[in-house]
Structures are given as structure tokens and as C-alpha cells.
């Protein structure tokens, strides 16, 4: 616990010690350069990477269904974990194409507080509903059947052993349903790649101006990215973390952990941290800061490194045990503090130092 307070005090001193410093505003071409790097080095490659891994998972599921076995099922589990990690690279880019046509919900229907997806997918499996195996009807139907959490339940939810024990009955149906959902994830990912191309939103994002429907100048584009990073931190704590930890050990709900059935909860959290750091690096956010403001990046790096350490400690304990274990709960509390600290540094300190104005994010209903 003492280490926690030392870490907190260090981060606080970094922030307090640099308040009130006036920084020179970057030039328009500086913002343009960062926006261009963000698009070319991070955004488009990340969506392309998601599509690529989704196709690999679809193929892996096809191989498994052709010759189901427990050993091959473990291979599917590992590939699913890779897909969740890739999803984390775009999960927080919830503007532009991700906001339209229910693309985000088609890839992840979460939080699912009423268990809608779970109920629908369970019913489809029990009834062996042939409609859900039709790719066109699946894509046009409820988003609850279409995304990563639906696929996870089919592959790793209650009764998943039927996948190789009852391959010609309900297990066979589950396999076909998994293939259909995986195919839909591929199609949605490919749609996002196209939507982000220079024939689509890529042009809007990289070429602001008076005729641009969203961005009049490049600093607005960079502000969009910083807001996305802040949203990432808020989503991490409010959606992935706090519902699981609860306000006390007695109120902990480990079964609410995102991707718990596949064992990918920690993978999902790790991906959020890794890709926040990667976007900052690939877009060269540091280039917008005066030398006097570089402490901001030392502080963000400090927060992300300590968040990783907390996650590593939680993984060693085991998430379901850690939420009820005294030491584990301290790690969760520290994890929340560091992730919130990172988000605050980006939204407040980095935005101020780089001359940005940040609006409400998507999680605030904007």
C-alpha cells in the first residue's frame, strides 16, 4: 500500500508542479502532420489488422468444425484471444465509421446489462434455429447475435463441450453458428476498412477545411483523437473494471468480466493500455509539446507502466479470486487510479499544452 501512495504522490507532484505554465500553440501544419501520422501509422493499419485476424479466426473455426476435438478447441481459444487483443486497437475509435450503421454494436454488444445477447444466443442453440445460420439474415438481424460476445458464448459458454462430443447434433449447430458469427465479424471489419479508406472517412479525417462536413481544421482532428484516448480510459474503468470489482468484496461480480468465458478478460484490458500508448507514439503526439511540457509524457508513461504492473499482479492471483482477495482488491484500486490518471493527463494537461479544446465523449451521450 505504501508503494501505491508513493506512486500517487509522484504523479500528483508532476501535475501540480507544472500548473500555470504558458505553452506556445502549435502551428496548423503541426496538427496536420500528427493527424496524418495517426491515420497512416495507426488507424487504418489497426482496422486492417482486425480484419486480418478475424479472417484467421474464421478459418480456424472452419478447421475445428471439420474435425472437432478438445485440443483443436484450445487452439480456437488462443486465436480468439488474439482477436480480442486486435479488437482493443480500434475499440476506442468510436467516432466516424464506428458510430454509423451500428458497427460498434455489431462487433461488440456490451455492456449487456439485461443479458439480451446471452438469452438470444442460448435460445438459438437450444432451438437450433436455422435462420441464424443464414449470413444475410444474421447481418440484418439483431446485433445481439453478431459480435464478439455472441461468438464467445457459442464457443466457450455453457455446454461448449458439445462442440466435439455431439458434433452431429447440437454441437454441429453450435459450430455452424460460430462460423456464421465469425463470418459476420469479418464482413463488419472489412466494411470498416473500406469506410476508413481515402474514398471514405479517411479523406474527411485527413483533409479538414471549410467544405469538410466535420473538421474545419486539423487541430479538431487531433482533439478527436485525444478525446478518444480519454474515452478509452473511462470505458476501461466504468465498463471493464468497476462492474466486476464492485464497492466491496461482497459486492464483487467476477462473472460480469468482459470475455471471462474465453479467459480473455486480462487480454482485453492489456490491449486497451497497449494501444493507447501505441497511438500516442505512432501519431507523434509529443511533437505538439514545448520542451517544458514533456513532463506530461513522462507522467502518462508512468501511469501506463504502473497499470500494467497492477494487471500482471491481478493475472497472477486470478481475476475471480482477486476481486475478493484483500491484496487483489488493492491492485484493482491502483489499476483504476492509474488508468483514470492517464485519461486525466490526456484530456486536461495534454490538451491544454497542445492548444486543444476537448468536447464531450461518446460515453457521455454526445
Please list the pLDDT of the chain residue by residue as tens digits (366 residues). Answer: 334 333 333 433 344 334 445 556 899 999 999 999 999 999 999 999 999 999 999 999 999 999 999 999 999 999 999 999 999 999 999 999 999 999 999 999 998 888 888 999 999 999 999 999 988 889 999 999 999 999 999 999 999 999 999 878 899 999 999 999 999 999 999 999 999 999 999 999 999 999 999 999 999 999 999 999 999 999 999 999 999 999 999 999 999 999 999 999 999 999 999 999 999 999 999 999 999 999 999 999 999 999 999 999 999 999 999 999 999 999 999 999 999 999 999 999 999 999 999 976 555 543
Would you state the pLDDT for residue 107?
98
The Cα 196–Cα 246 span in angstroms is: 38
The Cα 12–Cα 335 span in angstroms is: 16
Would you state the pLDDT for residue 363?
56
The Cα 31–Cα 37 span in angstroms is: 10
**What is the DSSP track for 28-45?**
HHHHHHHHHHIIIIIIHH
The Cα 25–Cα 110 span in angstroms is: 39
The Cα 49–Cα 236 span in angstroms is: 22
Give the global pTM: 0.92
DSSP alpha helix (H) spans, the chain: 2-16, 28-37, 44-66, 70-87, 103-107, 116-127, 135-140, 148-156, 162-165, 170-195, 201-206, 218-235, 242-245, 265-283, 295-317, 319-322, 326-344, 351-353
Amino acid at each position: 500500500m505504501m508503494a501505491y501512495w508513493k506512486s500517487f504522490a509522484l504523479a500528483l507532484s508532476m501535475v501540480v508542479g507544472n500548473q500555470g505554465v504558458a505553452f506556445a500553440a502549435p502551428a496548423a501544419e503541426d496538427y496536420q502532420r500528427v493527424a496524418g501520422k495517426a491515420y497512416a501509422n495507426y488507424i487504418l493499419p489497426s482496422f486492417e489488422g482486425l480484419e486480418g485476424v478475424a479472417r484467421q479466426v474464421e478459418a480456424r473455426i472452419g478447421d475445428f468444425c471439420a474435425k472437432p476435438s478438445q485440443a483443436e478447441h484450445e487452439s480456437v481459444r488462443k486465436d480468439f484471444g488474439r482477436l480480442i487483443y486486435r479488437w482493443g486497437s480500434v475499440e476506442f475509435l468510436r467516432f466516424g465509421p464506428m458510430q454509423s450503421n451500428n458497427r460498434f454494436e455489431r462487433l461488440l454488444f456490451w455492456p449487456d446489462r439485461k443479458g439480451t445477447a446471452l438469452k438470444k444466443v442460448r435460445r438459438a442453440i437450444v432451438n437450433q434455429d436455422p435462420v441464424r445460420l443464414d449470413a444475410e439474415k444474421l447481418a440484418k438481424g439483431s446485433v445481439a447475435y453478431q459480435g464478439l460476445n455472441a461468438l464467445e458464448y457459442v464457443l466457450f459458454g455453457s455446454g461448449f463441450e458439445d462442440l466435439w462430443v455431439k458434433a452431429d447434433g447440437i454441437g454441429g449447430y453450435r459450430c455452424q453458428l460460430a462460423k456464421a458469427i465469425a463470418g459476420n465479424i469479418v464482413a463488419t471489419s472489412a466494411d470498416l476498412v473500406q469506410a476508413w479508406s481515402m474514398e471514405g472517412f479517411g479523406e474527411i479525417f485527413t483533409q479538414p477545411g471549410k467544405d469538410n462536413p466535420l473538421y474545419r481544421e486539423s487541430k479538431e482532428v487531433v482533439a478527436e483523437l485525444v478525446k478518444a484516448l480519454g474515452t478509452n480510459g473511462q470505458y476501461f474503468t466504468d465498463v471493464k473494471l468497476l462492474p466486476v470489482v464492485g464497492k466491496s468484496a461482497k459486492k464483487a461480480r467476477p462473472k460480469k468480466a468482459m470475455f471471462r468465458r474465453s479467459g480473455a478478460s486480462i487480454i482485453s484490458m492489456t490491449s486497451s493500455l497497449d494501444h493507447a500508448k501505441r497511438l500516442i507514439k505512432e501519431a507523434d503526439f509529443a511533437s505538439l509539446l514545448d520542451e517544458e511540457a514533456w513532463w506530461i509524457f513522462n507522467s502518462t508513461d508512468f501511469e501506463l507502466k504502473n497499470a500494467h504492473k497492477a494487471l500482471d499482479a491481478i493475472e497472477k492471483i486470478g481475476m475471480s479470486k482477486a476481486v475478493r482477495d484483500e491484496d487483489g482488491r488493492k491492485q484493482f484500486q491502483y489499476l483504476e487510479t492509474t488508468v483514470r490518471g492517464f485519461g486525466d493527463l490526456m484530456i486536461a494537461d495534454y490538451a491544454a499544452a497542445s492548444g486543444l479544446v476537448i468536447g464531450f465523449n461518446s460515453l457521455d451521450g454526445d
